[in-house]
């Protein structure tokens, strides 16, 4: 089958290739891919930023989000049937949605939200799971708490705004001028135009910050938290808890060293820091599907979609900062 694989680590490492069509193991479902989407994680994995933690061996098919139709069900699988429309973020080391077909662990898969197209459904698994796990599991958001999410117009930020509002939080976000109306329509209570203002001089007393921008933003984010508040970063540096999540406790000292500076800074300010890396979960996607179907959440897609043959161009579109929402790759007219 046709696929886009990382042939070597680096910016030029993604190439169109022919690979064997997978089959479903006993615990798998085989899915005919109708749509996939681009995430910043795709770039990071392609460039080798996680190569010491996630032991992919080039060549491997890239891609972390998928929506499609089940074509084969493993002998041990219950709850799925051929013809089911599904969506998923396959677990690490089993990614590969930039392809025509993918075999996934059934535990990572859920029925597609009925009211979403394949293209819309492919845009949400990773960001929806990340928002849910960060806000519900890590931060344990309670009604009335104050949440700042950076880059509210992006795929993750736009989802976090909506979910945080659903959980009863007061939500602030940063956005460029052209996106202010967009993030307000998603539910943001307060919008900081980062082209005009420094959020750290405007906001204070926040319970949680979710940062996806990097070190400079993260350092400032610590200063707007209330005592005991929590800064969550999805871009690092990784902390010892991530080693536990990976099942590699021997890496705890290394990750403690990597995050020592930011953790020390947080401690001096009387706040907390946590690195966050989402995990696959079909059961959580089932819960999230209900929120998409009842209108609580809605996907935010970039106006430009790409055909499967143009996957490399889709990656470039995201990397060049041209995206406004999730960039989707579609397979044929039914997506």
Rounded CA separation 312/140 (Å): 38
| Residue 70: both structure tokens together | 């089940």
pLDDT digits (tens, 9 = 90+) for 43-102: 999 999 988 888 899 999 999 999 999 999 999 999 999 999 999 999 999 999 999 999
Residues near 115 by beta carbon (within 8 Å), at least 6 away in sequence: 292, 293
pTM: 0.95
SS (H, E, C) the chain: CEEEEECCCCCCCEEEEECCCCCCCCCEEEEEEEEEECCHHHHHHHCCCCCCCCCCCCCEECCCCEEEEEEEECCCCCCCCCCCEEEECCCCCCCCCCECEEEEEHHHEEECCCCCCHHHHHCCHHHHHHHHHHHHHHCCCCCCCEEEECCCCCHHHHHHHHHHHHCCCEEEEEECHHHHHHHHHCCCCEEEECCCCCHHHCCCCEEEEEECCCHHHHHHHHCCEEEEEEEEECCCCCCHHHHHHHCCHHHHHHHHHHCHHHHHHHHHHCCEEEECCCCCCHHHHHHHHHHHHCCCCCCCECCCCEEHHHHHHHHHHHHCCCCCCECEEECCCCC
pLDDT over 90 percentage in the chain = 88
Across 1-15, 136-150, 233-247, least confident range: 233-247
| pLDDT of 236 above 90 | no
pLDDT at 199: 97
> How do the domains of the chain map onto residue ranges?
2-123+301-330, 127-275
The verdict on domain 127-275 having CATH code 3.40.50.720 is yes
* Residue reference for tokens 């996907």: 299
**Are 234 and 156 a contacting pair, CB within 8 Å?**
yes
Rounded CA separation 43/63 (Å): 10
The verdict on domain 2-123+301-330 having CATH code 3.20.20.100 is no
pLDDT at 333: 59
| pLDDT of 335 above 70 | no
């Amino acid at each position: 089958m046709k696929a886009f694989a990382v042939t070597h680590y680096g910016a030029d490492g993604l190439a169109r290739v022919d690979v064997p069509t997978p089959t479903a193991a006993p615990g798998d479902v085989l899915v005919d891919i109708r749509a996939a989407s681009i995430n910043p994680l795709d770039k990071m994995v392609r460039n080798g930023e996680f190569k010491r933690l996630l032991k992919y061996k080039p060549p491997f098919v890239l891609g972390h989000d998928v929506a499609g139709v089940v074509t084969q069900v493993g002998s041990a699988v219950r709850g799925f049937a051929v013809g089911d429309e599904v969506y998923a973020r396959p677990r690490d080391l089993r990614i590969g949605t930039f392809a025509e077909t993918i075999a996934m662990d059934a535990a990572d898969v859920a029925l597609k939200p009925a009211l979403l197209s394949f293209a819309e459904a492919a845009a949400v698994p990773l960001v929806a799971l990340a928002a849910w796990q960060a806000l519900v599991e890590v931060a344990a958001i309670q009604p009335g708490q104050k949440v700042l999410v950076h880059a509210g117009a992006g795929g993750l930020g736009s989802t976090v705004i909506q979910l945080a509002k659903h959980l009863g939080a007061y939500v602030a976000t940063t956005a460029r001028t052209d996106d202010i109306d967009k993030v307000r329509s998603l539910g943001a209570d307060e919008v900081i135009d980062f082209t005009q203002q420094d959020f750290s001089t405007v906001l204070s007393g926040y319970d949680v910050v979710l940062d996806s921008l990097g070190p400079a933003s993260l350092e400032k984010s610590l200063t707007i938290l209330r005592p005991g508040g929590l800064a969550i970063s999805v871009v690092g540096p990784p902390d010892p808890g991530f080693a536990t999540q990976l099942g590699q406790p021997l890496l705890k000292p290394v990750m403690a060293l990597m995050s020592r500076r930011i953790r020390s800074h947080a401690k001096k300010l009387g706040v907390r820091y946590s690195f966050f890396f989402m995990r696959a979960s079909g059961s959580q996607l089932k819960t999230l599907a209900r929120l998409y179907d009842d209108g609580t959440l809605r996907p935010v897609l970039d106006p430009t979609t790409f055909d499967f043959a143009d996957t490399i161009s889709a990656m470039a579109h995201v990397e060049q900062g041209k995206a406004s929402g999730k960039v989707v790759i579609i397979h044929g007219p039914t997506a």
